[in-house]
C-alpha cells in the first residue's frame, strides 16, 4: 500500500475527464483500491474516487464511519427524496458548498472479488455515493452547488 497524491481541481484536468469501466479485476485494481483506502484515511476524508489520485478508472471507496465500502463500476440505479447539505472535497480544499442530492440512493457495482454488490445509502451515505460517482464522470461538487463558501 502507498499514499498517492490527491489531484487539485485548479491544477489537474484529469478531474474533468470521464473514467473508464474496469473489465478485468486484477492485482493492479486491488493495489489501486488499497492505495485509495490508505490515501483517504490519511487525508481524513470520507470518500475517494480513482480520478482524485490520477487514475481514470471507475472505482470509489467510502467510509462515513460505518465501515469501508469499495465499489468498482458503480452505477446509481435508484434515487429518491432530496437533501441540501454542506459538502467538501479532498480535491477542492478550503471550499464548502451546499449541494442538493437525493436523500436515498441504491448503487450497484462489483466488489474487489468481482462479485455483484448493491449498496443502499441514506443521508450522508447517499450524498457520499453521489459525490464520488460524480467524480467518475468529471463532475465536481462545486458544479452542483447552490451556495459556495470558503471553509473557516
Q: For position 152, what pLDDT does the model report? A: 65
For the stretch 67-96, pLDDT in tens is 999 999 999 999 999 999 999 999 999 999
Q: What amino acid positions are annotated as catalytic residues? A: 132
List pLDDT tens digits, range 91-127. 999 999 999 999 999 999 999 999 999 999 999 999 9
* Confidence label for 35 from pLDDT (cuts 50, 70 and 90): very high
Closest-CA residue to 96 (of 62, 138, 140): 140
As a whole-number percent, the residues of the chain with pLDDT over 90 amount to 95
| pLDDT at 6 (0 to 100) | 98
Homologous superfamily of the 13-150 domain (CATH): Peptide deformylase (3.90.45.10)
Domain boundaries, the chain: 13-150
Amino acid at each position: 500500500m502507498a499514499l498517492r497524491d490527491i489531484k487539485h481541481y485548479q491544477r489537474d484536468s484529469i478531474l474533468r475527464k470521464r473514467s473508464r469501466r474496469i473489465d478485468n479485476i486484477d492485482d493492479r485494481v486491488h493495489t489501486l483500491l488499497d492505495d485509495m483506502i490508505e490515501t483517504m484515511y490519511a487525508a481524513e476524508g470520507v470518500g475517494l474516487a480513482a480520478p482524485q489520485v490520477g487514475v481514470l478508472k471507475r472505482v470509489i471507496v467510502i467510509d462515513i464511519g460505518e465501515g469501508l465500502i469499495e465499489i468498482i463500476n458503480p452505477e446509481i440505479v435508484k434515487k429518491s427524496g432530496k437533501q441540501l447539505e454542506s459538502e467538501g472535497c479532498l480535491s477542492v480544499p478550503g471550499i464548502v458548498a451546499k449541494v442538493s442530492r437525493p436523500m436515498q440512493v441504491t448503487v450497484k457495482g462489483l466488489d474487489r472479488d468481482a462479485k455483484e454488490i448493491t449498496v443502499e445509502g441514506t443521508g450522508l451515505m447517499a450524498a457520499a455515493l453521489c459525490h464520488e460517482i460524480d467524480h467518475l464522470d468529471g463532475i465536481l461538487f462545486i458544479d452542483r452547488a447552490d451556495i459556495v463558501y470558503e471553509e473557516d
